[in-house]
Amino acid sequence: MEKIISRLQLSFALQDIREQRPDLWFLSIAKNNAVSILTSLRDIHGFTSLILLTAVDYLENNVFQLTYILRNYSMNVSLGIEVKLPREAAVMDSIHHLWQHAETFQRELKEMFGIDFPGSPGIDEGFVLEGWDNIPPLRRDFDTRKYARETFFPRPGRTKHDPRDQMRSKLYSDYSGGEK
């Protein structure tokens, strides 16, 4: 893996290199290098599979971090490529031309985080949240509790039970509380 990383350093400005374990490494790169380095990893370095594309919302720093996990099966190693995006108007180049199934990951990230991937097939179609008109639900500034209170109502007949009391009365009704 060190040879691949050395070659990548010659062509790309790698911002951070971390070995998580011998078969898993992470590289942080600039947004404008993402498609080029992913293409190089696929076409030159044998990382033929896109395993995952996910995001993390770092609200405090006002950025999203995209993480692409690639797999090289002949070397039995995985490589994570991390890219930071500003939260406001978050846009990233699509990689559906490299891995066709990337369009599914990208549609999910658009719907759940609001990260746009212009040109990706179906990017503006609903994915899971049909008719959703609130901020994307996986953004950390989305207030889940407030949304639930405003959207759902208490159902009649629902009561709260202490789980310990419920267990004693329903499952152990003959239990006297003494030690055996």
Residues near 68 by beta carbon (within 8 Å), at least 6 away in sequence: 34, 38, 50, 52, 53, 80, 81, 83, 95
Domain range annotation of the chain? 2-152
Mean pLDDT, rounded, of the chain: 91
* Amino acid making up residue 41: L
pTM of the model as a whole: 0.82
Which is it for strands 77-86 and 24-29: parallel, antiparallel or unpaired? parallel
Encode pLDDT of 83-103 as tens digits.
999 999 899 999 999 999 999
Contact, 35 vs 91, CB < 8 A?
Answer: no
Quickly tell me which residue has 């003959």 as its tokens. Answer: 174
CATH code at 2-152: 3.30.460.80
pLDDT at 159 over 90: no
Q: How far is CA 83 from the centre of its chain?
A: 12
Encode pLDDT of 136-146 as tens digits.
999 999 999 89
Quickly tell me which residue has 């993402």 as its tokens. Answer: 34
pLDDT grade for 178, boundaries at 50, 70 and 90: low
pLDDT grade for 108, boundaries at 50, 70 and 90: very high
